[in-house]
Amino acid sequence: MSTIDLSQLVTWRRELHRFPEIGWSEFTTTARLITELRGMGLEVLAGPNVINREFVRGRKADVVERGLALAQERGISQALLDEMDGLTGCMAVFDSGKPGPTVALRFDIDCVAVQECAAGDHIPNSGDFASKSAGLMHACGHDGHMSIGLGIAKWLVENSRSLGGKVKLLFQPAEEGVRGARPMAESGIVDDADYFLGMHIGFIAKTGEIVLNPNNFLCTTKYDFRFYGAPAHAGAEPHIGRNALAGACHAATQMLGISRHGKGMSRINVGVIRAGEGRNVVPAYGEIQVEVRGEDESINTFMAEQVERMAKGVAQSFDLRLESEVMGEAVDLRNDPELIDLLADVVAQHPELTAVAQRSFGGSEDATILAKRVQRHGGKSIYFIVGADLKAGHHQAEFDFDEKQLKTSVELFVGCLQKLMVK
């Protein structure tokens, strides 16, 4: 079987690092992935074929338009942009043509809104691959995740004769804000999967550690609540105004006072409040951006129902019109023991690696939606962590990771695929 080329993985990662794109605007990134994957001879689906538009979350029209314009400036072909039809992300399909399982692998593709640091000892600067987009950076390792996906694709093509079954490589948009997995899942592309594997590089583990079964994935629902009132002169005629700022503030304080759930961990955060037009005008508009989290779906649902009820109640009491929009979501996950054991066997083949049975994830990841979709259709799922030493934590301006773990990641995926698909 062919070997895995670290230099190629690093080349892909660094090229993708130069051109970060925020969720739902990843047109250049998607085009690069499609071109690379089709160049390997794989079937690649994009646009409405992999994203169910009805379930898209948190997609801002101005962000999408800027992404499209930038892709055109960068020379991305109109044919590819037409194929995407305004929706980013893609799926490559490897079909051995022989009997065997269908395995889905997921890799996220978006960046975060972080300005990359300018320090000379920051490797992306000294290596001349720092972000070329002001205020945007691959500060969460998704550039690495994509290169891992490309490395697996290359290995599959080169080793097709020894494999049985099918592999679906999902390159998912808009993971940040947990917005992209639901519409990808609702397209139905993983409904035939017998197995689902996802991973994250770095995060809760250092180089050499592989967390087989991270736990405490928090369910979450992200909301924007928009309150519409009526303006009026704050001195002469305040009585004819309807104060949307007051409504937004009351909603925020009520939400922060929600009782925590007695059967498990629950969270609430009002992260943004915007309101008002001027100091002498009764505010006609108010907005709050809220997230709830729960240890499981029932607890998260409890929190979500509370914030919705409070927003509606405040709107009624202040005579405001309310708009609410779900901006993102993720669910909890329990890895299947069969895949935990399989991954443990693969890790045991690498003496330089240490298997960590469990470690708390403590956050939200929308790969859980795809994983649970597979489980609910009778398949098995796992999400694991490949440790990588970090220069700084995720979402920080100095973020960078040990690139040698790109090869480690591909080797682990390949080891799992060999156990599942080699007959």
- Give 278's Cβ-side CA count (13 Å radius): 7
Phi, psi (5° rounding) for residue 301?
Answer: -65, -40
**Domain match, 27 and 132 both:** yes
**Domain match, 300 and 375 both:** no
pTM, rounded to two decimals:
0.94
**Domain match, 146 and 179 both:** yes
In this structure, which amino acid lies at residue 328?
Answer: G
Is residue 141 in a domain? Answer: yes
**Domain match, 253 and 386 both:** no
Task: Please report, for the domain that includes residue 287, its CATH number.
Answer: 3.30.70.360
**Domain match, 58 and 185 both:** yes
Phi, psi (5° rounding) for residue 43?
Answer: -75, 135
398 close to 325: Cβ distance less than 8 angstroms: no
Question: Pairing mode, if any, of strands 390-392 and 219-228?
Answer: unpaired
Alpha helix (H) residue ranges in 200-317: 244-256, 297-317
Cα–Cα distance for residue pair 75/72, rounded to 1 Å: 5
What residues pair up with 273 in beta bridges, in sequence order?
288
What residues pair up with 102 in beta bridges, in sequence order?
166
**Domain match, 152 and 270 both:** no
**Domain match, 350 and 211 both:** yes
How many domains does one find in the chain? 2
What residues pair up with 45 in beta bridges, in sequence order?
91
Q: Which residue has the tokens 């009820």?
A: 309
Question: What pLDDT score does 1 carry?
Answer: 54
Cα–Cα distance for residue pair 16/150, rounded to 1 Å: 12
Is residue 364 in a domain? Answer: yes
Q: Is 224 helix (H, G, I), strand (E, B) or coil?
A: strand
The 10 Å CB-count burial string (b at 16+, else e) for 71-100 is beeeebeeebbebbebbbbbbbebbbeeeb
Strands (E), 78-124: 90-95, 102-108
Cα–Cα distance for residue pair 343/356, rounded to 1 Å: 11
**Domain end call among 272, 307, 329:** 329
Is residue 172 in a domain? Answer: yes
**Domain end call among 278, 299, 329:** 329
Is residue 252 in a domain? Answer: yes
Cα–Cα distance for residue pair 156/137, rounded to 1 Å: 30
Is residue 1 in a domain? Answer: no
Question: What pLDDT score does 3 carry?
Answer: 78
Is residue 278 in a domain? Answer: yes
Spell out the residues 6+ positions from residue 168 whose beta carbon is closer than 8 angstroms to its own: 91, 92, 93, 94, 102, 103, 104, 105, 189, 190, 193
Helix pair 6-18, 404-421: axis angle to 10 deg: 120
**Domain match, 58 and 155 both:** yes
Question: What pLDDT score does 2 carry?
Answer: 64
Q: Which residues of the chain have pLDDT under 50?
A: none
Q: Say which DSSP state 398 is in.
A: T
Phi, psi (5° rounding) for residue 257?
Answer: -95, 10
Is residue 342 in a domain? Answer: yes
Strands (E), 49-129: 90-95, 102-108
| Residue 68: its H or E element | helix 61-73
Question: What pLDDT score does 291 carry?
Answer: 96
**Domain match, 160 and 201 both:** yes
**Domain end call among 307, 329, 351:** 329
**Domain match, 293 and 396 both:** no
**Domain match, 119 and 203 both:** yes
288 close to 252: Cβ distance less than 8 angstroms: yes
**Which structural domain, as residue segments, surrounds residue 228?**
219-329
Task: Please report, for the domain that includes residue 392, its CATH number.
Answer: 3.40.630.10
Question: What pLDDT score does 276 carry?
Answer: 94
Is residue 155 in a domain? Answer: yes
| Token pair listed for 216 | 């405490």
**Domain match, 253 and 187 both:** no
Q: How would you classify residue 335: left for phi > 0, otherwise alpha for psi between -120 and 50, otherwise beta?
A: beta
